[in-house]
Structure 1
């Protein structure tokens, strides 16, 4: 690769060579995913074998993805799109990440499609599979070195309180008025974050929701290790409960999508979400126990992190995707019904 560009390789790329008989087959050599796919960056599928995700705009290094890719390959974690390479560019002595190259997974659909199908059908067989996948991911990432400092309970609690304050400021109308009446109950649940955090911090995914889990021809795969695009100052090393809480709340969001877009009965959707969450969490804990690492999950943190996550969903809706507000509001209205807070 000529300067100022460079390539960091993780796995060998599949061959893109052709014989003369393969030419002019009529199939496009490259394609994108289409306008219906909501993505922060721009991805191109090459020859139905690899995906090149161009970061728009390029991101200064260090960036979490190259380090995580290299480590997952070393740790033997295979439940992801095969990480092939990272393309960088030097700009006045500063390296920028231009693109990430991963494997293309045939017949892949993200969780905002396949998981909504499951909600509509009332099926929860997928949940233990996702629980084991998340646990295996954390077991692999837990072997990445972390900084020596201990988790900061005061900083964690302040971050959650700031998220609540911002959600209150940005959520207007009837939703905002309702949210204000539930603020005392929300704060009572966030109060658990003021206690000392005694469990380990590990490298986490940082944006682990069902949309990052593909169901493809050969199973499930977790993707997108770029971190949370809406939280610019997030520490990459946090309690594993942070990822677990985002994954479980995304199950709740799937139920809201099924209600709104598929006409699923609200009571049935809520029951489905509760069963799926329980199955996912149980399988996650069993997997950690099987690997003698049960301490990776401080279950006491899951609920307050879930509550904080819903505040962040409201912030995301207000700043980036207003039509999404129905999902976190639907979850919060389910959690904080009058009979549950008196």
Structure 2
């Protein structure tokens, strides 16, 4: 079977799974107002004036991101998808006025498949695996409150009605245990390192007890969460912090679109623990100092998050009984990510689990 090709002009063709042709992103921007068949464009905001020139962002390994005119980013999806939550969430957040994102301009589809997102370029941006590790090594904690407030503002925005999501908050009476216990079981199976495998087996009972509250069905508010909210998705750029990559969790298939906000918060707090592990492993930081740092930043983040929800009159969004079990599930998922995608990453979730138990 021939590889599918989508042509934007006589000389610019997108071939899924192949490197993006030079000039393709500029061609896309020129055709946004009048896209040729079979393309469909969902516009969110008018494009600003864009100078010529483009360059690839080499750090984006999952997809292909191209900066055009030092003004916008065209994010090409390596595997076009018909179920990406990003366009809907971007359109909703733009409408309700949430600003801590890269301003969204357009989503480009071929039929029902999302091919590309066009957003603002954030100058001098560094992701959290850089700037947050620097904070850990230097002992900086002031950012944690800002990060907690921003996460709460995101969830308040996601709970605000719009024409895109007119009924954004639902009440679910559900058990969240099935996915979590499945992740634990698979983590036990796929962790091949003898020492780590033995440690997990010895602590399986502890981990199952921590996950047990998820088996108690109860009414919990759910919204369209970010789904993959860790510090690597938080850019520090010239004008502050911004949350990126609303594409969902690439390691979870079939996840319900509406989830408790505690899931996002658990991912964010555990990622601070991972930052501490990175600082020890790669920067030679003192383990005890990093344990203290992660505790202080977690406390500051959670306090700021809860306070901001209360100020917005949305305290009921957070079911705190789910937070610790979701954190345990997240560490299991980190082990799965390491086993299937990045074996050297295993030290981070194993380091966190050993710290906790």
Give the TM-score normalised by the residue count of structure 2.
0.87
2:344 counterpart residue number: 323
Range that drifts further, 143-152 or 185-194: 143-152
CA separation in 2, counterparts of 1:100 and 1:230?
21
Structure 1 residue 39, shift from structure 2 partner: 3.0
Structure 1 residue 311, shift from structure 2 partner: 0.1
Q: Does 1:57 find its partner at 2:74?
A: no
CA separation in 1, counterparts of 2:63 and 2:209?
38
1:31 counterpart SS class: strand
CA separation in 2, counterparts of 1:148 and 1:138?
13
1:23 counterpart residue number: none
CA separation in 2, counterparts of 1:334 and 1:248?
14
2:237 counterpart residue number: 216
Structure 1 residue 2, shift from structure 2 partner: 1.1
Structure 1 residue 226, shift from structure 2 partner: 0.4
Structure 1 residue 199, shift from structure 2 partner: 2.5
1:137 counterpart residue number: 154
Query: Is the CA contact (8 Å cut-off) linking 2:171 and 2:222 kept in structure 1?
Result: no
Alignment of 1:83-162 (within 5 A): 83-90=104-111, 95-143=112-160, 144=165, 145-146=167-168, 150-153=172-175, 156-162=176-182
Query: Is the CA contact (8 Å cut-off) linking 2:234 and 2:242 kept in structure 1?
Result: yes
1:207 counterpart SS class: coil
Structure 1 residue 195, shift from structure 2 partner: 1.6
2:183 counterpart residue number: 163
1:174 counterpart residue number: 195
CA separation in 2, counterparts of 1:197 and 1:316?
30
Query: Is the CA contact (8 Å cut-off) linking 2:169 and 2:222 kept in structure 1?
Result: no
Query: Is the CA contact (8 Å cut-off) linking 2:170 and 2:221 kept in structure 1?
Result: no
Q: Does 1:5 find its partner at 2:22?
A: no
Which of structures 1 and 2 has the larger relative contact order (alpha carbons within 8 angstroms, sep 6+)?
Answer: 1
| CA RMSD across the alignment | 1.3
CA separation in 2, counterparts of 1:148 and 1:239?
10
CA separation in 1, counterparts of 2:101 and 2:86?
13
CA separation in 2, counterparts of 1:179 and 1:288?
36
2:70 counterpart residue number: 48
CA separation in 1, counterparts of 2:184 and 2:110?
39
Structure 1 residue 300, shift from structure 2 partner: 1.1
CA separation in 1, counterparts of 2:260 and 2:323?
10
1:263-315 CA distance string (max 9 Å, x none)? 00000001000000000000000000001110111111100000000000000
Query: Is the CA contact (8 Å cut-off) linking 1:151 and 1:238 kept in structure 2?
Result: no
Match of 2:61 among 25, 39, 46: 39
Number of aligned pairs?
317
Structure 1 residue 149, shift from structure 2 partner: 6.8
1:84-108 CA distance string (max 9 Å, x none)? 1011112xxxx21100001000000
Give the TM-score normalised by the residue count of structure 1.
0.90
Query: Is the CA contact (8 Å cut-off) linking 1:124 and 1:272 kept in structure 2?
Result: yes
Structure 1 residue 197, shift from structure 2 partner: 3.0
CA separation in 2, counterparts of 1:216 and 1:147?
31
Query: Is the CA contact (8 Å cut-off) linking 2:45 and 2:105 kept in structure 1?
Result: yes
1:251 counterpart residue number: 272
Match of 2:211 among 164, 172, 190: 190
What 5-or-longer segments of structure 2 have no aligned partner? 1-34
Runs of 4+ in 1 over 4 A off after TM superposition: 146-149
